[in-house]
């Protein structure tokens, strides 16, 4: 959903338009327009005190232009002199009692000074004034101010956007307030693309405007932190004291766990405005994260010093805590905000998301529905309501403290596998870390990636995420949504988060949480998790390690997807180093300290070594790991201008000087394969494998060598190559499938079963895998395994359901005659002339009659378009 979607309310529009009648609004222009522009420039660049002084002098010389007083009041508000601003507003109102723009500023001033009733009365006054005018006669600035007022009074956003903001911009393309108003409305409705477009237009038209740059930064906050920081830098170039930009920077720094940096950013705001409520709200967040409850209370009190029932303060604190995975604490702050103002929809929407993430679904969905009903243009609420309808169709399994929800068709095919894996993870990991889970854990698998993103992030997107854990709720893409990944490894990873987040009460840095989860993947299955690779080696040896104290920030603003993956790997490497050097008990002790509210760096120092020493030792550990990767390989790579990869002669010369070059051997082999020179390609590929046997990333030498063997019909040589790859890789689905095919041809039935299990850990919804596993189970006498495979195969629309039902009936006719009868009747319904089927049916009905389908007889005959043969 976007802000531009939806139909206008004809009734609301008629009422609004009918009440706006004719009144010409003339503007008195001051002769000192140049002085006014100069003062505005002072305000724009953060010289608020100087601007205030200039405004006072102009007013003292009888400058009647209302913009002088409006600029003076804006300056007082920027400096935190709220009561003084309210006094000036009250005095000036008698001069401009009909100015909508001035009265809208007065409303904001009264709110900031805590005069909520007077502020509320002003909204009614503005509406009454506007009702006496014709819409066409209201100038652009007043149109925007009137639109702001109508939104506060509950008008439909779509009408305000079209009839006020856009009308103002059509009549006056230089109406700065119009662009900012549309951008702010889009931000409020989570339409970040529209917001970015509007703020860009403002920047293009008006040049360096810190408000527009800050708005653009807000539009990028959830999608592109690098672009956000660029926009903030642009704002600071113009106005280094711009409060909104400094607060957004502080919020970003909190996300990066740069709490000292965030405190400094907030100090800059408070140095200008000692009473800025948002700055004090974020100071309260920092106090909460530092486990300083008394300071948290004092900071919140300062945020509410003037406007004591400001719901935005508690909303901000709670939202930030929830973004730090403190969902229960965040929800409590949203409840406080709603006590101040039960109609404050941002808090209600955030509370809905918090409750859904801690498993209180009944109340969470109810609140999401309320927000959507009250504000149909709230994109998060719209998406959540649609998601609820989709999830209502999910199948649910509940056993041993685990609640699994997933698509009903997928649940019928492999839901039991999911439950078995999670039960194993729960038993093993809880025992290992000493955790007793006394409440259920909910796991939701989404076949639709966008549903996963909405459930997880509140909005579509989230590409690249396989799963997310909120503590006692796990959301994950199903294998159908993310076919290339090993879903078993993903769920093991996420359940590790359940354990560590519960142990620490969600009070742990992201890097440690992710590092332990990747570490536990590798501990459980050496084919899972991440390993050193050429890219990571290069990054480590070229100084690309992030200091442990800053490691969480590496997840937030990675320049490339590779850097994000490296953040996971480095975090795992820190955990591995910690356990290897200081013992697993040290890791558990750190988690225990975090649960008590201890700061991570202090906890590490207490149980390992001083942080600087720890980081130095870890860097040496990581460098040694990087240097030990395939030590016989020549990792040197030519500069782009020195060797043309497309020039065979240049490549030959490079390889002559660098015969063990990873880069050269791969490129040489790839070129040979592209030219279908299969035999020649084998030599560099075999050499690559010998030099670097653990390289199993996409395009690895095993895959390429197997391809060469296959094209040369060298199956006996292809198979061992693929087996080596399958033994090292957790998601080489192509290798598993080919090994099953070869094993079936060679009647190596145990190998079919082994590689079938590996394949199902990547993608459990392919019918041919179950068909082969069923046949293999029969051949080795594992009837139960064969029955399980054939039953799943029937759910996947097999090419020959008659044969599958027949095989099931024959396998079950002794152990479960009733089920066998059902299956043979299904087969006969589809193929009435199936003679072997009739014989088996009679045997099932009359169990005393000897079976005609004995072990000495041929297997079931195949079907053709002409019937049974």
DSSP letter string, 194-224: HHHHHHHHHHHHH-S-HHHHHHHHHHHTTT-
What SS3 state is found at 558?
Answer: coil
Q: Which of 533, 458, 453, 525 is nearest to 491 (CA)?
A: 525
Instruction: Read off φ and ψ for residue 223, nearest 5 degrees.
Output: -120, -35
What gap in Å lies between CA 434 and CA 12, rounded to an integer? 60
In 10 A of CB 614, how many CB atoms? 21
In the chain, which residues have pLDDT < 70? 1-34, 63, 461-462, 482-483, 640-643, 847-869
Strands 441-446 and 402-406: parallel
The Cα–Cα gap between 144 and 181 comes to 7
Instruction: State the pLDDT at residue 456.
Output: 84
Looking at residue 398, its pLDDT comes to: 95
Q: Which uninterrupted H or E stretch holds 790?
A: helix 783-794
pLDDT of residue 689: 97
pLDDT of residue 30: 41
Dihedral over Cα of 467, 390, 402, 445: its sign: negative
Number of alpha carbons in the 13 Å side-chain half-sphere of residue 17 = 11
Residue-level pLDDT at 393: 93
Q: Dig out the tokens for 623 from the structure.
A: 């460098």
Give the three-state DSSP class for 253. Answer: helix
The secondary element (H helix, E strand) that includes residue 474 is: strand 473-477
Distance (Å, whole) CA 286 – CA 254: 8
**What pLDDT is recorded for position 2?**
40
Sign of CA dihedral 281, 286, 288, 294: negative
Nearest to 489 by CA among 515, 468, 517: 517
How many residues are recorded in the chain?
A: 869
Q: Over the stretch 118-130, which tens digit does the pLDDT of each residue have?
A: 999 999 999 999 9
């Amino acid at each position: 959903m976007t802000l531009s979607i939806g139909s206008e309310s004809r009734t609301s529009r008629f009422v609004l338009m009918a009440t706006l009648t004719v009144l010409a609004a003339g503007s008195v222009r001051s002769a000192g327009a140049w002085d006014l522009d100069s003062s505005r420039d002072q305000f724009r660049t953060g010289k608020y005190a100087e601007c205030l002084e200039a405004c006072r002098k102009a007013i003292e010389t009888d400058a009647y232009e209302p913009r002088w007083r409006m600029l003076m009041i804006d300056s007082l508000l920027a400096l935190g002199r709220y009561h003084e601003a309210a006094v000036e507003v009250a005095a000036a109102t008698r001069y401009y009692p009909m100015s909508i723009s001035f009265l809208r500023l007065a409303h904001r001033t009264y709110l900031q000074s805590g005069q909520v009733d007077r502020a509320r009365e002003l909204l009614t006054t503005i509406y009454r004034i506007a009702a006496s005018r014709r819409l066409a006669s209201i100038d652009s600035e007043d149109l925007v101010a009137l639109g702001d007022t109508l939104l506060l009074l509950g008008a439909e956003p779509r009408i305000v956007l079209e009839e006020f903001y856009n009308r103002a911009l059509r009549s006056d393309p230089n109406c700065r307030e119009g662009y900012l108003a549309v951008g702010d409305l889009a931000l409020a409705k989570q339409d970040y693309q529209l917001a970015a477009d509007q703020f860009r237009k403002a920047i293009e038209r008006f040049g360096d405007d810190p408000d527009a740059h800050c708005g653009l930064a807000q539009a990028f906050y959830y999608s592109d932190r690098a672009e956000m920081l660029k926009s903030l830098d642009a704002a600071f170039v113009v106005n280094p004291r711009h409060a909104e930009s400094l607060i957004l920077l502080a919020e970003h720094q909190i996300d990066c766990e740069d709490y000292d940096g965030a405190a400094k950013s907030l100090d800059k705001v408070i140095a200008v405005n000692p009473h800025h409520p948002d700055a004090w709200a974020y100071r309260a967040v920092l106090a909460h994260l530092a486990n300083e409850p008394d300071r948290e209370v004092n900071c919140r009190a300062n945020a509410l010093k003037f406007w004591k029932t400001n719901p935005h303060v508690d909303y901000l604190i709670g939202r930030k805590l929830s973004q730090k995975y403190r969902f229960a604490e965040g929800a409590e702050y949203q409840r406080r905000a709603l006590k101040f103002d039960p109609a404050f929809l941002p808090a209600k929407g955030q509370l809905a998301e918090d409750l859904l993430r801690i498993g209180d679904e009944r109340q969470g969905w109810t609140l999401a529905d309320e927000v959507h009903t009250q504000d149909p243009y709230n994109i998060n609420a719209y998406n959540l309501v649609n998601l609820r309808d989709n999830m209502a169709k999910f199948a649910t399994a509940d056993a041993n403290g685990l609640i699994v929800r997933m698509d009903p068709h997928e649940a019928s095919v492999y839901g039991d596998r999911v439950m078995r894996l999670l039960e194993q993870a729960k038993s093993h990991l809880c025992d290992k870390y000493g955790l007793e889970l006394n409440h259920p854990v909910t796991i939701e698998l989404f076949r639709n990636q966008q549903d996963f993103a909405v459930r997880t992030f509140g909005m579509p997107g989230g590409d690249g995420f396989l799963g997310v854990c909120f503590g006692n709720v796990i959301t994950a893409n199903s294998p159908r949504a993310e076919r290339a990944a090993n879903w078993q490894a993903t769920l093991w990873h996420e359940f590790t988060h359940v354990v560590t987040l519960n142990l620490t009460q969600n009070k742990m840095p992201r890097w440690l949480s992710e590092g332990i989860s990747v570490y536990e993947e590798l501990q459980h299955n050496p084919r899972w998790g991440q390993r050193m690779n050429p890219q990571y080696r290069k990054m480590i040896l070229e100084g690309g390690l992030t200091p442990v104290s800053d490691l969480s920030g590496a997840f937030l603003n990675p320049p490339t997807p590779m850097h994000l993956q490296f953040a996971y790997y480095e975090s795992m490497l820190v955990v591995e180093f910690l356990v290897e050097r200081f013992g697993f008990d040290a890791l558990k002790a750190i988690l225990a300290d975090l649960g008590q509210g201890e700061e991570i760096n202090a906890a590490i120092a207490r149980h390992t070594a001083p942080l600087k020493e720890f980081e130095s030792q870890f860097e040496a550990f990581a460098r040694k790991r990087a240097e030990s990767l395939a030590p016989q390989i020549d990792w040197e790579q030519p500069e782009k201008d020195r060797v043309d990869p497309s020039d065979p002669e240049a490549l030959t010369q490079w390889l002559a000087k660098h015969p063990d070059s990873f880069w050269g051997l791969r490129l040489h082999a790839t070129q040979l394969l592209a030219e279908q020179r299969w035999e020649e390609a084998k030599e560099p590929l075999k050499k690559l494998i010998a030099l670097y046997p653990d390289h199993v990333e996409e395009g690895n030498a095993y895959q390429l060598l197997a391809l060469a063997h296959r094209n040369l019909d060298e199956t006996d040589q292809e198979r061992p190559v693929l087996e080596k790859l399958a033994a090292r890789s957790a998601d080489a689905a192509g290798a598993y499938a080919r090994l099953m095919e070869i094993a079936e041809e060679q009647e190596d039935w145990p190998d079919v079963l082994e590689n079938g299990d590996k394949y199902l850990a990547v993608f459990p919804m392919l019918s041919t895998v179950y068909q082969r596993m069923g046949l293999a189970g029969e051949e080795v006498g594992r009837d139960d395994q064969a029955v399980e495979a054939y039953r799943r195969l029937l759910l996947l629309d097999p090419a020959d359901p008659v044969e599958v039902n027949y095989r099931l009936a024959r396998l079950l006719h002794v152990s479960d005659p009733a089920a066998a009868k059902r299956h043979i009747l299904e087969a006969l319904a589809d193929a009435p002339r199936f003679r072997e089927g009739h014989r088996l049916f009679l045997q099932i009905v009359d169990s005393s009659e000897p079976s005609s389908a004995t072990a000495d007889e041929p297997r079931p005959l195949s079907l053709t378009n002409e019937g049974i043969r």
